[in-house]
């Protein structure tokens, strides 16, 4: 299931949390204009995945012709990932934001 975040305050709004509660058995990916690590971190509070395709395409366009394009894109994608949390920490964060 993909939830487009356009117009949705990325950061665990009540609407996003109630959506996740209704489709609890399905994995949920959120995306539309997601392009920063902060946005990814906020999305991961209530979703299973953040879709960053447009951000990657933008970086490819920006770096077109670069001899090390692939490694630079890899570095960009890594920069979008929040610090690793254990599965337990992520579950605790999700539960605390869904109850807020």
- Other C-beta atoms closer than 10 Å to the C-beta of 9 total 11
Assigned token pair, 30: 């959120």
Helices (H) and strands (E) in the chain, counts: 5, 3
In the chain, the largest separation of any two C-alpha atoms, in whole Å, equals: 48
Q: Give the residues across from 30 on adjacent strands.
A: 3, 50
The tens-digit pLDDT sequence of the chain (100 residues) is 555 555 544 444 455 556 555 656 678 888 888 888 888 888 888 888 888 999 999 999 999 999 999 999 999 999 998 776 655 666 666 666 555 5
Q: What pTM did the predictor assign? A: 0.61
pLDDT (tens digit per residue) in 49-69: 888 999 999 999 999 999 999
Tally of domains in the chain: 1
Domain that holds residue 19: 2-98
């Amino acid at each position: 299931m993909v939830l487009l975040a356009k117009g949705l305050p990325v950061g665990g709004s009540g609407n996003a949390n109630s959506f996740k509660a209704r489709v609890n058995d399905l994995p949920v990916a959120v995306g539309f204009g997601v392009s920063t690590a902060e946005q990814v971190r906020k999305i991961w509070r209530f979703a299973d995945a953040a879709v960053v395709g447009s951000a990657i395409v933008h970086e490819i366009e920006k770096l077109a012709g670069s001899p090390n394009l692939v490694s630079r894109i890899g570095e960009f994608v890594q920069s979008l990932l929040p610090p690793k949390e254990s599965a337990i920490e992520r579950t605790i964060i999700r539960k605390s934001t869904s109850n807020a």
